[in-house]
């Protein structure tokens, strides 16, 4: 088994991102009884999506994994990478629109956008887990995987490992009230 495995690292991040589904489900209709609490919770989720899902995770894919695949002579499916990068751009726009809905106090709309965003994000994650990562795992040698792993680690370190841990813990504890 690969010790410094970038695919494992990225899949663990996917698990953390996917676990926000439960939190979002529990927020349904909360705006009717407690709009302030709803707004606060969604704002915390927005921070998580911007910083963890996008900065920590999508940038590892865009800056490390995807370029490494593109450079691999046996990788023949560049169109899948274009598609996944387009998704990342779309996700950035979706998060901005959820944020605008919250600022405008359009609670029901914000919730609809949040559900739609998560739905597309989970589909995206499934494509990566079930297709792209399987290809990456089979194409790269042990040494190449290790090099990619350390490049991913560099991104975590640049952005701040303590901050990353605090984002994960926030999701784990669902502690948005504090």
What's the min distance (Å) between Cβ of 78 and Fe ion? 15
Burial of 109 (0-12, 13-18, 19+ CB in 10 A): middle
Least Cβ distance, residue 57 to Fe ion (angstroms): 6
The nearer residue to Fe ion, 99 or 128, going by C-beta atoms, is 128
Size of the site for Fe ion (CB under 5 A): 2
* Interior/surface letters 149-158, b for 16+ CB within 10 angstroms, e for the rest: bebbbebbee
As a whole number of angstroms, the distance between CA 158 and CA 65 comes to 17
Q: Is 128 in the site for Fe ion (CB under 5 A)?
A: yes
CA–CA separation, 11 vs 31, rounded Å? 33
Binding mask 77-116 for Fe ion (x = CB under 5 A): ----------------------------------------
Report the C-alpha gap between 146 and 152 in whole angstroms. Answer: 10
Intra-chain end-to-end CA distance of the chain, in Å:
40
65 near Fe ion (CB under 5 A): no
Nearer to Fe ion, 61 or 99 (CB): 61
Asked whether position 16 contacts Fe ion by CB under 5 A, the answer is no
Q: How far is the CB of 37 from Fe ion (least distance, A)?
A: 30
Q: Which stretch binds Fe ion (CB under 5 A): 39-47, 61-69, 129-137, 145-153?
A: 61-69
Q: Any contact of residue 61 with Fe ion (CB under 5 A)?
A: yes
Is the distance from CB of 113 to CB of 97 less than 8 angstroms? yes
Site for Fe ion, rule CB under 5 A: 61, 128
């Amino acid at each position: 088994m690969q010790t410094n495995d970038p695919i494992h690292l990225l899949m663990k991040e996917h698990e953390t991102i996917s676990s926000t589904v439960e939190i979002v489900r529990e927020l349904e209709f909360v705006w009717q009884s407690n709009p302030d609490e709803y707004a606060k919770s969604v704002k915390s989720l927005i921070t998580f999506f911007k910083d963890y899902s996008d900065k920590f995770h999508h940038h590892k894919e865009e800056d490390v994994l995807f370029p490494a695949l593109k450079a691999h002579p046996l990788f023949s499916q560049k169109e899948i990478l274009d598609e996944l990068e387009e998704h990342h751009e779309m996700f950035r726009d979706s998060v901005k629109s959820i944020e605008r809905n919250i600022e405008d106090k359009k609670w029901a709309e914000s919730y609809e956008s949040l559900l739609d965003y998560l739905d597309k994000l989970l589909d995206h994650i499934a494509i990566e887990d079930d297709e792209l990562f399987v290809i990456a795992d089979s194409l790269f040698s042990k040494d190449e995987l290790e090099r990619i792993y350390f490049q991913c680690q560099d991104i975590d370190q640049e952005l701040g490992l303590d901050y990353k841990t605090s984002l994960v813990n926030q999701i784990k504890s669902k502690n948005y009230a504090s």
